[in-house]
Amino acid sequence: MQKRRGSMRKLYSWPVIPTTAAIVCCGALALSAQTDLSGYWAFRIKDGGVNYYQLQQNGESFGTVPPVAGQGGGFRGRGLAGTVKNGKVHLEMVNSMPAAPAAGAPGAAARPAAAAAGGPGGGQTRVYEGVVTNPNRIDVTLTTTGRDAGVLKGWFERVSKDEAVPTRIPSPELRDLPDNGMVRTPPMGWNSWNKFADEIDDKTVRRIADAMVSSGMAKAGYTYIVVDEGWSSGRDANGKIIPNGKFPDMKALADYVHSKGLKIGIYSSPGPQSCWGRVGGGGYQGSWKHEEEDAQTFADWGYDYLKYDQCTAGEVYDNTTQDSQAAYQKMGEALLKTGRPMVYSLCQYGAHDVWKWGGKAGGNLWRTTGDINDSWGSMERIGFAQLDISKYVKVGHWNDPDMLEVGNGGMMADEYRTHMSLWSMLAAPLMAGNDLRTMTEETKSILMNPDVIAIDQDRGEFQPVQRLSVQGKTEVLIRQLSGNAYAVGLYNRGDEPAEITFRWDDLKFDTGLGSRRLAATDLWKHESVTVSGDTYTATVPKHGVVLLRVAVATGRGGFGF
Ligand code: GLA
């Protein structure tokens, strides 16, 4: 779902000489057949982003170049085809929304629940009806059906090729950026995307911040409120990024979130634009060619966290490790230069083994996967795939298997408990992605289970999670924790309840005690577990988990064996 850039506008200076035969009629410029509307155009709506098109007029036929077939046809973005007759324009989006990419495919921007009306990405139509106001402007009414159905006023505006087509600039030399010293445990917070997509606004963010505190989430450790896609509009005459009408004052918003004792995050892209756009409006701003300015703006506004999403970077960087690292390094350097501590969250869907260089580019966390969605299949596939790269996790540099879906309604409670248990054993960032204002008691009990959070946030010398055993569709994962303890997760990925067993002796405790005594607790049942015999066996429900903390008993009450 690539959208186009919306950098500073250089209005095209009347490249088309209006034909002498042009007749002004009824507020529209009725153009004779000789007038050529061919060229580069930006389509804008108020408070939206921008889509760029190369349009070609051929007699009365009018549309994108070259003729479009299938996804992403035409010059840029989805194609348009239609007519221009007597100054009246009729254009239709040529192809309907392409089917959503396979869940979790690299860069697959899974459309979250709130925005999926009209089917997951399918069946959208867009019709632009309007008049040629002058040879450089076409005012239109855009009628959308399917996803984001509605009627909007917008306009096409002629732009230079230079604006419409990004020209590459040299990438910086690679170097290792210093550790910014932040997030010594995986970041915890909330991000707007999974629940709200880009239908997020200042007021909702404030109410979420209120709910973060009143629900107990803040006390449980959730700190960062991250505004994802959808806050920006364009750039002012000085090139400074500006918010759109849904976010009247980004600094005031940061001040509000800070006043609640929380921290706030913002979102941008190394490309010219970010990934998603409002109805017909196109993509929001990216930071390409504005990295230092934007980092400084975010710092001046008081932001504490940047999620930097690849999106349109492919238009201006090569799809290589070198270029990907360079793109992220550029912003990493810019953030350091501001002097404001800001968590740097890389999001390029795990391409080019980002876990091997994300830290060098200044990253504190990096997405290791395409987008999660609120389904067992997506969460399970992403979560268990992390085991192979868990050894790359270091303090302050976390693998990020994407935000939590707990509480969004697409999974059973057992599946959400598996989600939370797995993310905690992985030491993954815990970024809630649900509506904190309306959480059920069950959702709260999952997101705010202090013992499970403690595994995620363990402060010992960091040890990555390991796979102890796999049998059929069951897995036993273990992670060594501080305090001479282990987390042991018995995961059932199958569709029937299953008995899962592990040997106590497989937990290699660092203890000088001759005869070891262990104490174990079931962290979801909140009760102690008898440690006896050589093994432990639990019956684990379909898609469920039994999560234990096993420690060397410190006083009386341990169970000897
Ligand atoms: C990408 C990211 C998501 C979200 C959207 C916003 O798909 O992976 O987490 O930020 O973009 O468009």
- Read off the pLDDT of residues 409-457 as tens digits, 9 standing for 90 and up: 999 999 999 999 999 999 999 999 999 999 999 999 999 999 999 999 9
In the chain, the percentage of residues whose pLDDT exceeds 90 is 69
If asked whether residues 110 and 231 sit together in one domain, one would say no
DSSP labels, 379-414: HHHHHHHGGGGGGG-BTTBEEE-----TTSSSS-HH
Classify residue 328: in a domain, yes or no.
yes
Query: Best substitution site from 192, 267, 278, 347 to test ligand 1's pocket, by max atoms within 8 Å of Cβ?
Result: 347
Residue owning the nearest CA to atom 6 of ligand 1: 229
Q: How many angstroms separate the CA atoms of 6 and 47, rounded?
A: 12
Where a domain ends, among 456, 481, 507? 456
If asked whether residues 507 and 413 sit together in one domain, one would say no
Alpha carbon 404 to its chain centroid, in Å, reads 11
Q: Alpha-carbon Rg of the chain, whole angstroms?
A: 26
The predicted structure's pLDDT at residue 51 = 78
Q: Whose CA is closest to 281, among 375, 148, 165?
A: 148
How many A from CA of 369 to the centre of ligand 1? 11
Where a domain ends, among 404, 431, 456? 456
Catalytic residue among 309, 374, 400, 402: 309
How many A from CA of 35 to the centre of ligand 1? 41
Overall average pLDDT of the 470-490 stretch? 97
- pLDDT of residue 105 exceeding 80, the answer is no
- Read off the pLDDT of residues 495-529 as tens digits, 9 standing for 90 and up: 999 999 999 999 998 765 555 689 999 999 999 99
Classify residue 520: in a domain, yes or no.
yes
If asked whether residues 431 and 534 sit together in one domain, one would say no
Alpha carbon 179 to its chain centroid, in Å, reads 23
Classify residue 182: in a domain, yes or no.
no
The predicted structure's pLDDT at residue 248 = 95
CATH number reported for the structural domain that contains residue 509 in this entry: 2.60.40.1180
Strands 282-285, 305-309: pairing is unpaired
Query: Best substitution site from 193, 365, 367 to test ligand 1's pocket, by max atoms within 8 Å of Cβ?
Result: 193
Its domain, for residue 495, covers: 466-552
Pocket of ligand 1 (CB under 6 A): 109, 193, 228-229, 275-276, 309, 347, 371
- Read off the pLDDT of residues 281-329 as tens digits, 9 standing for 90 and up: 456 789 999 999 999 999 999 999 999 999 989 889 999 999 999 999 9
CATH number reported for the structural domain that contains residue 358 in this entry: 3.20.20.70
How far CA 19 is from CA of 3, 266, 426, in Å, comes to: 33, 48, 66
Q: How many angstroms separate the CA atoms of 276 and 269, rounded?
A: 11
If asked whether residues 107 and 198 sit together in one domain, one would say no
- pLDDT of residue 76 exceeding 60, the answer is no
- Read off the pLDDT of residues 132-163 as tens digits, 9 standing for 90 and up: 999 999 999 999 888 778 898 999 999 988 77
Where is pLDDT greater, at 256 or 13? 256
Classify residue 178: in a domain, yes or no.
no
Q: Whose CA is closest to 268, among 186, 347, 165?
A: 347
- Asked if 422 contacts 384 with a C-beta cutoff of 8 angstroms, the reply is yes
Q: How many angstroms separate the CA atoms of 414 and 412, rounded?
A: 5
How many A from CA of 1 to the centre of ligand 1? 10
The predicted structure's pLDDT at residue 166 = 79
The predicted structure's pLDDT at residue 70 = 35
Q: Whose CA is closest to 326, among 356, 357, 364?
A: 357
Which pLDDT band, with edges at 50, 70 and 90, does 555 fall under? Answer: low
Overall average pLDDT of the 98-124 stretch? 40
If asked whether residues 422 and 485 sit together in one domain, one would say no
If asked whether residues 230 and 355 sit together in one domain, one would say yes
Classify residue 46: in a domain, yes or no.
yes
Q: Whose CA is closest to 488, among 503, 498, 473, 499?
A: 503
Q: Average pLDDT over the chain, rounded to whole?
A: 85
* Number of separate domains in the chain: 3
If asked whether residues 522 and 452 sit together in one domain, one would say no
Which pLDDT band, with edges at 50, 70 and 90, does 25 fall under? Answer: very low
Burial 324-343 (b: 16+ CB within 10 A, else e): bbbbbbbbbbbbbebebebb
Q: Is 323 a catalytic residue?
A: no
If asked whether residues 367 and 419 sit together in one domain, one would say yes
Burial 54-74 (b: 16+ CB within 10 A, else e): bbbbeeeebbbbeebeeeebb
Q: How many angstroms separate the CA atoms of 6 and 103, rounded?
A: 28
Among the residue ranges 6-20, 26-40, 405-419, 458-472, the one predicted with the least confidence is 6-20
If asked whether residues 473 and 448 sit together in one domain, one would say no
Greatest mean pLDDT among 168-172, 360-364, 460-464 lies in: 360-364
Is residue 473 classed exposed, middle or buried when 0-12, 13-18 and 19+ CB atoms within 10 A define those classes? Answer: middle
If asked whether residues 142 and 199 sit together in one domain, one would say no
Among the residue ranges 44-48, 90-94, 101-105, 543-547, the one predicted with the least confidence is 101-105
If asked whether residues 412 and 478 sit together in one domain, one would say no
Q: How many angstroms separate the CA atoms of 390 and 305, rounded?
A: 23
In the chain, the percentage of residues whose pLDDT exceeds 70 is 82
Q: How many angstroms separate the CA atoms of 35 and 275, rounded?
A: 35
If asked whether residues 308 and 267 sit together in one domain, one would say yes
Burial 92-113 (b: 16+ CB within 10 A, else e): bbbbbbeebbebbeebbbbbbb
Overall average pLDDT of the 58-78 stretch? 60
Q: Whose CA is closest to 156, among 65, 280, 59?
A: 280
Q: How many angstroms separate the CA atoms of 196 and 18, rounded?
A: 45
Q: Is 255 a catalytic residue?
A: no
Ligand 1 atom closest to residue 109's alpha carbon, by position in its atom list: 7
Where do the DSSP E strands lie in 435-497?
A: 466-471, 474-481, 485-492
Where is pLDDT greater, at 120 or 349? 349
Classify residue 412: in a domain, yes or no.
yes
- Read off the pLDDT of residues 257-280 as tens digits, 9 standing for 90 and up: 999 999 999 999 999 888 875 444
Where a domain ends, among 397, 429, 456? 456
Which pLDDT band, with edges at 50, 70 and 90, does 119 fall under? Answer: very low
From the CB of residue 320, how many other CB atoms can be counted at a distance below 10 Å? 12
Look at phi and psi of residue 337 and say left if phi exceeds 0, alpha if psi is from -120 to 50, else beta: alpha
